[in-house]
Amino acid sequence: MSLQICSFPQAACLAALVATVWSYEPAQAASQPAAVTSASPETRPPNNKAFSPAFKGQTRAPGIKTSFKLDVTTVAQGLSNPWAFEFLPDGRVLLSERSGQLRIVDSSGKLSQPLQGLPSVQFEGQGGLLDVALDPQFEKNRTIYWSYSEPRQDGNGTALAKGTLVEDAKGARVDGVKVIFRQMPSLKSNLHFGSRIVFTPDGKQLYLTLGERSIPAGRVQAQDLNSHLGKIIRINLDGSVPGDNPFVGRSGAKPEIWSYGHRNVQAATLDARGRLWSIEHGPRGGDELNRPEAGKNYGWPVIDYSGEKMHDISAKEGMEQPVYYWDPVIAPSGMIFYSGKLAPEWKGNVFVGGLGSMKLVRLQLEADKVVGEEWLLEGRLFRIRDVKEAVDGSIYVLSDGGTPSLVRIAPQAR
């Protein structure tokens, strides 16, 4: 155990920040960066032994090992049920707490008072204030977006709002709040709100992931095109529908839908080519890595690799196979494609946070197939809720269990 000063990506180191640091060394260093070893990290039996992968490498990829030690630095604590964060241009962090607060974390790790002006959330079960994202033109317009579980007369549902972040002598607040999308129909459930916000490469539209609310009445609607449940949608930044969405003009279909047949997508991001990738929770197995494409059906709840008795097939014509799946589950939340220069051997790899599994998972891809998997920080950070790459190439993760914390991960200085 050692003591180290940490900085935010665009801020100078401040001696006022007291940060706890530990070194993490892989159990077996590879002779070359990310060399593939003979064993996968997963050794437990799958929950459903009757299912076989649809193709080689669809699950239990060979184990890989990072060749360098890691420094893991606690940047901020004192958080309450944190869910998501974004780096502001000046290096501070905008962070959401499920109980309904948006806060700003400064370069010393100090938390601001909650920002004023946000609508009420239904903070119950998995609900509350969820993802937060900066407009692609944030430095010009100061616009932010956030998703949340919205209380309604007939239940609740995922909503997406936008507003202007203002900081002046009166404090920090959000002005001009407008709800630009509401998931329909409403249901009385406190589960599976989905809620990752991802902007398209041109910054003109955004994707929002939507869970199917878990209860039977919602689950079946993942296959219903006249429902937003269990879907990924694509909308313009004002909430209107892009004219080239796949179901525009189709009778009995919600025009916002991009892809369907999803369960509870809590991880989503773009790759270096600007393509959307997502990871959704399976029930007792079958967490899925997908590359959602316009108009395609990803199977839930008809096909799945889970251990639930309701599933007796893992493939069906007209339904897409996952690029990769985990059984048993990692309970994913938050993902990035690494692009930084700080760790060249990680470039192009996927990093995804694990909730119940309490680990950071690294996937190595070739030609859109997973060829290696590594588990980092297993059991050290409790539940990892969100993952982001900082401008300096370090990785920040948000932990919402134990002592909720914002944590920086970087190669150990030699």
Report whether 219 contacts 230 (CB < 8 A).
yes
Q: How many CB atoms lie within 10 A of CB 30?
A: 18
Which whole-number Å values give the CA distances from 325 to 54, 214, 223, 272, 411, in the listed order? 11, 20, 20, 22, 28
Residue 381: which of 94, 101, 72, 89 has the closest Cα?
A: 72
Report whether 349 contacts 365 (CB < 8 A).
yes
What's the distance, CA 162 to chain centroid?
A: 19
Beta bridge partners of residue 395, listed in sequence order: 389, 409
* Residue environment code for 199-222, b if the CB has 16+ CB neighbours within 10 A, otherwise e: bbeeeebbbbbbbbbbeeebbbbb
Q: In the structure encoding, which two tokens stand for residue 249, read together?
A: 């003009």
Query: How does strand 93-97 pair with strand 101-105?
Result: antiparallel
Strands (E), 119-170: 129-134, 143-152, 155-168
Q: CA-CA distance, 377 to 72, in Å (whole number)?
A: 9
What's the distance, CA 217 to chain centroid?
A: 25
The identity of residue 357, as a single letter, is: S
192 catalytic per annotation: yes
Q: One of 192, 228, 262, 281 is an active-site residue; which one? A: 192
Q: How many CB atoms lie within 10 A of CB 49?
A: 9
Q: CA-CA distance, 385 to 376, in Å (whole number)?
A: 15
DSSP-derived secondary structure for 52-88 = --SSTTSSSPPBB--SS-EEEEEEE---SSEEEEEE-
Q: In the structure encoding, which two tokens stand for residue 179, read together?
A: 């709800």
Question: Any idea which residues carry the catalytic annotation?
Answer: 192
